[in-house]
Structure 1
Amino acid sequence: MAPYRERPDWLRRLNSFGPATGAAQQLVPLEPDALLALARSTTGLHEIGDDAWLESYRRMVSSIDTESRANLVGRFLARVEILRVLQTRLRLYEAWAKTPAILDEPIDRPVFVLGAPRTGTTILLELLALDPALRAPIAWEAHHPLPHGDFQDTESRRRLAESEQELWMEMQPEFATLHEMGSDLPCECVHFLALEFGGPYWAMQYQAPGFTEWAMTQPDIVPRSYRLHRQFLQTLQYGEERKPWLLKSPGHLRTIEDLFAEYPDAIVIHTHRDPQKFVGSAASTTAMLQWLRTEAVDPRLYGQLGLHGFGMMLNGVKELRKAGQLPADQMIDSHFADLMADPVAAIRKIYDAAGLDWPEGHADRIDGYLRDKPKGKHGKHEYTLEEYGLDAATVDAVYADYVEHYGIERES
């Protein structure tokens, strides 16, 4: 039995109030206009951008409300997350109105780490972020970028983010086997894309197929999301030393052309691993994320998403590169096997390809970081392909061209 099927007793008891009262939707309502009004009243702010994002926002919230089959805690988490993102959006627009120079900040030559989940993207981000000449977004500033209420200074916002992440770990202790949580750790930039209510963040957290299908037909959502992504970085950077940003999210694979449209000088590090290892792990990751919020966990559905979803994205990037539609000199391949065998050598290779200066003492920083963070520090992430309705032959059939094209080493 997979660990995501077992809930802490306190969480199970709390969720039982939903069916016991027959009123989970009434106990924790998810109504888009009411949530927006609440965000405005709690911040005292009104300006939140033009109306272009509103249809996406309303559809997304309504889809989570009616389709996600979220339990009581899942609905509470959705309400809190949606409200926090709305409040952040309001505060950002206030900051830009007060200080227009924020949006003049140059975001030069950002470095993106892209790859399927479980291909080494997280550890690579953390090791690259040890370079003092680069800047990765830190979890606390991604969630709480601007002062507000009782959280005016950096330390108070850091503590707030830490308490949020501690609660997540208490609700789902097994997630630490997948991904270490901490308010001071570098984090994915998917949180910035969430501000437009159309990016991959919400689809990963909640089952909202109606919204997801609709969003795929809307060509303006992704460019708007990347524009806000840039503006978020400009806000974090304003008044501080300018360094190349170090960013990461698997979701960029699907929208890599839009990424380069917004950041034409970006450096992209494309991570690769044996699909036999990452497909099942990606399915398990999605299952864990959604298990926290819903009773409707279907392992076979997650297996198909891991198999075909990332298959389409990875093969799509491969074809774009072969056709010369992505800048070859800005795409750098990094193999999981190489990173595990010799992290310093693998990262030096990335620096050489990117034209980055190797900082003094960087090898020692990398070695020291890895000594303090041994593999399996928080337990082993256990899963099987079969648990998700998959087998080795099925995975090979989808990924054979991808594996051959990049010369990916098979893992035992």
Structure 2
Amino acid sequence: MGSPAHEVAARRNIIDITDLHHPVLTDIQKQVVAGAEAAADQIVFQPAFILGAAQAQTGLADFGAADFRERLAVWCQAIDEDANASAVTRANLFQMMIRYAATRLRIEDIVKLHPEIMDIPIERPIIVAGLPRSGTTHLLGLLSADRRLRSLPWWEAIAPVPAPEEMPTTDDANPRWTKAEQGWRMMESILPHMAIMHEFSPDHISEDIELQAPNFSSYLIEWLAMVPRWRDYYLSHDQSGTYAYLKKALQVLTFLNGPNRWVIKCPQHMEQLPTLYKTFPDATFVITHRDPVGSIRSQLTMYSYAARIFRKSVDIQEPLGYWPDRYEKLLRACVRDRDILPPEQTIDVYFHDWIKNPDPILKEIYRIADIPLTDEALADLHLYLVEHGEQTRGKIVYDLERDFHVTAEELRRPFTFYFDRFPVAIEVK
């Protein structure tokens, strides 16, 4: 906003990003790119370097089971193979991997000190799965507005076990929140429209993928770099160990903050339904469905907007060549495995029904979860809907034909199998 290339219809809160192909960088974006390029020689994607940095940061040494080391090595190799990754991307991924290694050290340490953590039950969680960029975040945030449920705010997701310097003080009741707020404000200043497309404020409810990542798995880094080597490795390996690690992290958080009924979500679950069910057999499963073209269109725009600082050069063929195929893989797995989930524990939520009237769907979710939908809880949910409506912070313009030279029909063609299986309404004409 503020750049002449961004036409903002302020009165209608419409944001049209018109410089996707030829970005016009702001001064702060130029500074960020220049700073990352100046420090590029310090970024070394070698497992020993990353793990050593985490050990030095935490003063801990035990990473637990060693199987993650192979995955970490594939992460490093895949990222190094991304020739178009900018210095900003490489710096962000490097710091992120050290953070996950440090989180793993702290998780292993607290479990070693308190082995009873592994006996804590994660009873009947509510688990949301659905297409990326399709409203699952909104549904998770809505359910999390029910104060009887336990969720994962961003400040806690990025530091599940507090470091000694992150313990509350008289000057700062929650240093982890403060650190997350600083990161959020920085992101808002660097990529203001990205902050609208995907919020990362401290109290924003995070995906549980943040609790899988210390095991150095999940599809996470696919969203941050072009890493087909990792995609192929991840899809060809059983994820039971990583989902067990997710459960372990939830047990640690329950130990630290007291018992409660969890609500979690991750779009990745759609392609891991058998493993998800095996790990959480008594869960309530909420599977959301939407015209994949709407979701892909959003991802293409988000990727291309962020490319101004995360890629060395902007090429719309890059996301077009990756994401439609990736969505197809995800949805084919969902179609193949959906019926493994027990009908009495599962609800399919359709976007076109949800936007018309969410209350009947909410009532059904609560019925399946066996949680009374009280007047007080419903009031909290309705208040969340009012405060987090689509126009609250701005509405992004998505234009497939103008920005990506492809029609909705062309993008939708490979997904006939999905429409044959689920009664999803065509949303994007």
TM over 0.5: yes
Tell me, what secondary structure is at the counterpart of 1:51?
Answer: coil
Question: What displacement does 1:141 show?
Answer: 0.8
The code of the aligned residue for 2:192 comes to: P
Question: Is 1:243 aligned with 2:260?
Answer: yes
Question: What displacement does 1:27 show?
Answer: 3.8
Partner Cα separation in structure 2 for residue 349 and residue 175 of structure 1:
33
Question: What displacement does 1:106 show?
Answer: 0.4
Query: Unaligned regions of 5+ residues in structure 1, if any?
Result: none
Partner Cα separation in structure 2 for residue 290 and residue 257 of structure 1:
35
Partner Cα separation in structure 2 for residue 254 and residue 283 of structure 1:
20
Aligned residue in 1 for 2:152: 137
Question: What displacement does 1:288 show?
Answer: 4.6
Matches within 5 A, 1:335-346: 335-346=350-361
Aligned residue in 1 for 2:127: 112
Aligned residue in 1 for 2:324: 307
Provide Cα deviations, 1:281-326, integer angstroms capped at 9, x if missing partner.
13323445565422244323323433232223223322323xx433
Aligned residue in 1 for 2:219: 200
The 1:266/1:149 distance shift into structure 2, 3 A limit, reads same
Aligned residue in 2 for 1:325: 340
Question: Is 1:379 aligned with 2:394?
Answer: yes
1:115–1:253 Cα contact (<8 Å) kept: yes
Query: Unaligned regions of 5+ residues in structure 2, if any?
Result: 1-17
Question: What displacement does 1:105 show?
Answer: 0.8
Aligned residue in 2 for 1:7: 25
Larger CA deviation: 78-87 vs 9-18: 9-18
The 1:48/1:280 distance shift into structure 2, 3 A limit, reads same
Tell me, what secondary structure is at the counterpart of 2:116?
Answer: helix
Partner Cα separation in structure 1 for residue 230 and residue 389 of structure 2:
40
Question: What displacement does 1:348 show?
Answer: 1.5
Larger CA deviation: 330-339 vs 58-67: 58-67
Of 298, 301, 322, the match for 1:284? 301
Partner Cα separation in structure 2 for residue 191 and residue 92 of structure 1:
13
Aligned residue in 1 for 2:10: none
Aligned residue in 1 for 2:8: none
Tell me, what secondary structure is at the counterpart of 2:396?
Answer: coil
Provide Cα deviations, 1:72-93, integer angstroms capped at 9, x if missing partner.
2222212211111111111111
The code of the aligned residue for 2:49 comes to: A
Tell me, what secondary structure is at the counterpart of 1:113?
Answer: strand
2:86–2:312 Cα contact (<8 Å) kept: yes
Tell me, what secondary structure is at the counterpart of 2:285?
Answer: strand
Question: Is 1:30 aligned with 2:48?
Answer: no
Partner Cα separation in structure 2 for residue 148 and residue 8 of structure 1:
35
Aligned residue in 2 for 1:392: 408
Equivalent residue pairs, number: 405
Question: What displacement does 1:378 show?
Answer: 2.0
Question: What displacement does 1:239 show?
Answer: 5.0
Aligned residue in 1 for 2:136: 121
The 1:269/1:305 distance shift into structure 2, 3 A limit, reads farther
Aligned residue in 1 for 2:275: 258
Provide Cα deviations, 1:142-180, integer angstroms capped at 9, x if missing partner.
111122142112611111111112222222111123123
Partner Cα separation in structure 2 for residue 67 and residue 3 of structure 1:
21
Tell me, what secondary structure is at the counterpart of 1:150?
Answer: helix
Tell me, what secondary structure is at the counterpart of 1:69?
Answer: coil
Partner Cα separation in structure 2 for residue 102 and residue 289 of structure 1:
40
Aligned residue in 1 for 2:190: 171
Partner Cα separation in structure 2 for residue 235 and residue 6 of structure 1:
45
The code of the aligned residue for 2:161 comes to: L
Question: Is 1:156 aligned with 2:171?
Answer: no
Matches within 5 A, 1:291-302: 292-302=309-319
The code of the aligned residue for 2:269 comes to: H
TM-score, scaled relative to structure 1: 0.90
Partner Cα separation in structure 2 for residue 62 and residue 319 of structure 1:
31
The 1:261/1:9 distance shift into structure 2, 3 A limit, reads same
Matches within 5 A, 1:24-103: 25-103=40-118
Tell me, what secondary structure is at the counterpart of 2:427?
Answer: coil
Question: What displacement does 1:2 show?
Answer: 4.7
Partner Cα separation in structure 2 for residue 374 and residue 46 of structure 1:
46
The 1:345/1:143 distance shift into structure 2, 3 A limit, reads same
Of 178, 202, 210, the match for 1:183? 202
Identity %: 25
Partner Cα separation in structure 1 for residue 405 and residue 325 of structure 2:
13
Partner Cα separation in structure 2 for residue 123 and residue 369 of structure 1:
10
Tell me, what secondary structure is at the counterpart of 1:218?
Answer: coil
Aligned residue in 1 for 2:15: none
The 1:292/1:264 distance shift into structure 2, 3 A limit, reads farther
Partner Cα separation in structure 2 for residue 408 and residue 314 of structure 1:
13
Tell me, what secondary structure is at the counterpart of 1:268?
Answer: strand
The 1:180/1:26 distance shift into structure 2, 3 A limit, reads closer
Q: Superposition RMSD on alpha carbons, in Å?
A: 2.3
Tell me, what secondary structure is at the counterpart of 1:193?
Answer: helix
1:117–1:281 Cα contact (<8 Å) kept: no
Aligned residue in 2 for 1:405: 421
Question: What displacement does 1:137 show?
Answer: 0.8
TM-score, scaled relative to structure 2: 0.87
1:207–1:290 Cα contact (<8 Å) kept: no
The code of the aligned residue for 2:207 comes to: E
Question: What displacement does 1:139 show?
Answer: 0.8
